[in-house]
Amino acid sequence: MMNPLKTLSRREKLGLLLIAGTLLVLPFMLATVGTAWVRITNFAVLFVLLSLGLNIVVGFAGLLDLGYIAFFAVGAYVYGLLASPHFGIHLPFWVILPIGAAVAGLAGAILGAPTLRLRGDYLAIVTLGFGEIVRIFMNNLSNPINLTNGPKGINRIDHFQIGNVNFAGTDTFFGLNFSGPIKYYYFLLVVLMAVIIINRRLKHSRIGRAWVAIREDEVAAKAAGINTRNIKLLAFSMGATFGGVAGGMFAAIQGFVSPESFILNESIMVLAMVVLGGMGNIWGVIAGAVLLSFMPEVLRYTVEPVQHALFGKMLIDPEVLRMLIFGFALVLTMRFRPAGLWPEALHRREMTENRT
């Protein structure tokens, strides 16, 4: 396989270097403003991971999934159950994350199986139902055997630990103070890189081509020799696997999981990130996720001071205005850029191919 770095122009290499540099020093810059911002960034990266996972299902294979957060929940609960006092089990994270990924992947296949003949609206309804079923299960699996601890959720979940370094407290390396969130940030960054590489490989693989063919025309894809059933199941399963990994990390970072974190709104949020960024395009999806994760936080910190400065008092509750602006931004994007902010570049690719 060709080295992807060699195909980049000098300007693109410089850009990549700049982005890498920024990402490396980012948590320390944010920490000077407040550790809260490092946490917000970590959650943004989690949402990027989720969006990239959902992008496989929605963007590549064209299967509308409204219950994607269920797989995030499965990953989070697997981590919570295997690394907390709830069962008294304390496995290391590098054992649990793969288990969580596998269980979520299996859940993906189980969801996929009954939906194989459904498309569009019908598929969306069934997946939405599945997402709710998982959440309701977690809410109620405290009786007769206390499996999930019900709505109270699972507390005191273990932090990651690598050797002697625990992700709970602060450590000093090279004279720099690495707080818990900063350590998670770097870990998330590594996972994110891996997920991006896997996504790109998948997209250009035989399986990726089969997904796209199914998205474009299922009958023709089948006629071309693609086992549409297995390939669709694989899309559900692969997407779910990424969700499971993100869920495990979410549980550790948060130290606590409860069914409340996995409501329908979250599924819709992740879908909005994928659609807003540009379905199918990895970079667009990342941009969408980053934008939609940070925007509410930025608004949270600006809406109130701006109102005070303008009117001398607070007229509208920031929480209300936040959702209003958020919704308005989504409507505007869909009106003026229906394919997303950064859609899959068909025409650009077409031109570059003509040049060669």
Partner 1 sequence: MAQALIEALNLEVHYGGIAAVKGISFAVEEGEMVCLIGANGAGKTSTLKALARMIPARGEIHYGKERIDGTPGYDLIRKGLALVPEGRGIFARLTVAENLSMGAYHRNDTADIAVDLDKIYVMLPRLKERAAQVAGTLSGGEQQMLAIGRALMGRPKLLLLDEPSMGLAPLMVEKVFEVVRDVAAQGMTVLLVEQNAKLALELCSRGYVMESGSITVADTAANLLADERVRAAYLGE
Interface residues toward partner 1, by CB under 8 A:
206, 209-210, 212-213, 216-217, 219-228, 344, 346-347, 349-350, 353-354
The answer to whether 100 touches 248, Cβ cutoff 8 Å, is yes
* Cα separation, 60 vs 46, whole angstroms: 20
| Residue 278 CB, nearest approach to partner 1 (Å) | 13
| Residue 208 CB, nearest approach to partner 1 (Å) | 12
| Residue 200 CB, nearest approach to partner 1 (Å) | 17
* Cα separation, 342 vs 276, whole angstroms: 8
Q: Which of 276, 256, 273 is nearest to 265 (CA)?
A: 273
Nearer to partner 1, 139 or 228 (CB): 228
The answer to whether 30 touches 268, Cβ cutoff 8 Å, is no
| Residue 274 CB, nearest approach to partner 1 (Å) | 16
Nearer to partner 1, 22 or 227 (CB): 227
Q: Which of 237, 214, 251, 194 is nearest to 106 (CA)?
A: 237
* Cα separation, 299 vs 326, whole angstroms: 9
Nearer to partner 1, 107 or 210 (CB): 210
* Cα separation, 285 vs 297, whole angstroms: 19
Measured CA distances, 80 to 239, 255, 340 (Å)? 21, 8, 35
Nearer to partner 1, 90 or 349 (CB): 349
According to DSSP, the residues that pair with 161 across neighbouring strands are 166
* Cα separation, 338 vs 264, whole angstroms: 23
Nearer to partner 1, 225 or 338 (CB): 225
| Residue 20 CB, nearest approach to partner 1 (Å) | 31
Nearer to partner 1, 165 or 223 (CB): 223
